[in-house]
Structures are given as C-alpha cells and as structure tokens.
Amino acid sequence: MIELEIRTAASMRDLGQRIGGRCRPGDLILLVGDLGAGKTTLVQGLGLALGVTDRITSPTFVIARVHETSGEFPSLVHVDAYRLGSALEFDDLDLATDVEVSVTVVEWGASKAEQLAGDYLVVQITRSDDGVDETRVVQISGVGSRWTFDDLEMIASR
C-alpha cells in the first residue's frame, strides 16, 4: 500500500493520470471515499491518460457511462454504485463483458464490485474534517497479483 497527501484538485487529476498511465484492458479500480472526496476528479485525470474524448462527470443518476478513447487505449467504464444496495443489484448492470476489454472504475464499489475481477486496485480517499483544508489522504493498494509494488511506486512518484 502507498499513502499520498493530495492538496488540490489539480493534484488529484494528476494522480488519476499517473494511475491511468499504468492501466491496461481488464483493469478494475475501486474508489472509496465520502461525497466530495475527489473520486470523480481522479477519474477525470485517469480519462486524460487514456485519451477519453468527452467530458467526464459523475454517473450518479445514470449509474454507468462508457467513455470512448482515442483508439489505442481501452474504453473507460465509469460506474457510480452509490445508489445500488448490494452486490446483487450491481450484478444486474451486467458489466462482466465490458470489464475484460475496458478499464473499469467503480465509485462506491467496495463490497459490491470486487467479484468483477480477481485483481483490482483500491483507492481510498479521505478528506480533512475541518471544512477549510482541502488536503486529501489517498491510500492505494492492489488486490491480487496484477498491481505490483513497482506499479504502486510509479504511481506515487511525481
């Protein structure tokens, strides 16, 4: 696991770009954090790295969006599982085939999306509680053999 301190939205997008730069088809990334933690901002940076050509916004009300890329990169599937009550409801989205050929990012995916892949990246974002400080603490860990310590170190380096 690595832990980073992120002070601005631009730094969160930059972190997303570094993660996106390490992604390949079939990758699953679970984002964990409270409302306003910076999950969608991180996905915007990830989309930049993958060459997403359209605007990335939170898919809260549509649940999932597929973002096409500039061609050489896999599509980005961006899911917001906040309104889903269980892993069974998540299964109803039928994302399994997309996961194999895309980079899939699931906000609020803990305890709902892990079954999509044996290997995945978990990004936990924690905001400062004081209401003034915009600093976030981001913990990134890999589950399974896909995300190595070297991958995490490359993500952590600026």
Which CATH number is 132's domain given? 3.40.50.300
Q: Is the pTM of this model over 0.85?
A: yes
For the cut 80, the answer to whether the pLDDT of residue 88 exceeds it is no
pLDDT band at 92 (very low <50, low <70, confident <90, very high): low
Q: Are 34 and 82 in contact (CB under 8 A)?
A: no
Q: Is pLDDT of 118 > 70?
A: yes
75 compared with 60, residue with greater pLDDT: 75
C-beta separation of 124 from 139 below 8 A:
yes
Mean pLDDT of 133-156: 93
* H helix and E strand count, the chain: 5, 7
SS3 41: helix
As for how many domains the chain has, the answer is 1
For residue 115, what are the domain limits? 2-156
Distances (CA, A) of 146 to 77, 108, 115, 120, 142: 19, 21, 15, 7, 7
3-state helix, strand, coil in the chain (%, to 5): 30, 25, 45
Q: Cα separation of 146 and 99, whole Å?
A: 14
Predicted confidence at residue 83, as pLDDT, reads 67
Q: CA of 24: how far to CAs of 36, 90, 108, 110, 143, in Å?
A: 27, 23, 22, 21, 16
The pair of structure tokens assigned to 72 is: 């050489």
